Amino acid sequence: MLDKLSREERLQLMRFVCSFAWADLEIQPKERKFIGSLITKLHLNADEKAQVKAWLEVPPEAEMLDPQLIPRAHRELFLETARKMIAADGNVDPEEEESLRLLEQLTA
């Protein structure tokens, strides 16, 4: 399913993933590893990789994270990827759970 995403959808997915990594205000090494594996799976180009790396230094702006803009066909993919992101470090914080619940509600 990842291969069906357009360039903008890939970046949109990575914005959400990075925002979930920041939910507890720090990015763990296992979360970085998960994001790195996504970069590879999505075949991001150099500019896209640089953008994701910037989001690992400073979280994406909230205005860039409108769940209503996630295409219906990809909403389950975004949710599943967010679930994997928050579980990547083996510790799901309450902030991460709340962010996921909110995303689920807004994409229902």
pLDDT at 2 (0 to 100):
84
> Domains (ranges, CATH) in the chain?
2-107 (1.10.3680.10)
Per-residue pLDDT of the chain (108 residues; tens, 9 = 90+): 788 899 999 999 999 999 999 988 889 999 999 999 999 999 999 999 999 999 999 999 988 899 999 999 999 999 999 999 999 999 898 888 998 999 999 888
pLDDT at 57 (0 to 100):
96
Give Cα separations from 70 to 5, 50, 91, 99 (angstroms): 11, 22, 26, 16
Cβ-defined contacts of 28-35 (< 8 Å, 24+): 28/88, 28/89, 28/91, 29/89, 30/88, 30/89, 30/90, 31/85, 31/88, 31/89, 32/56, 33/88, 34/84, 34/85, 34/88, 35/85
pLDDT at 1 (0 to 100):
78
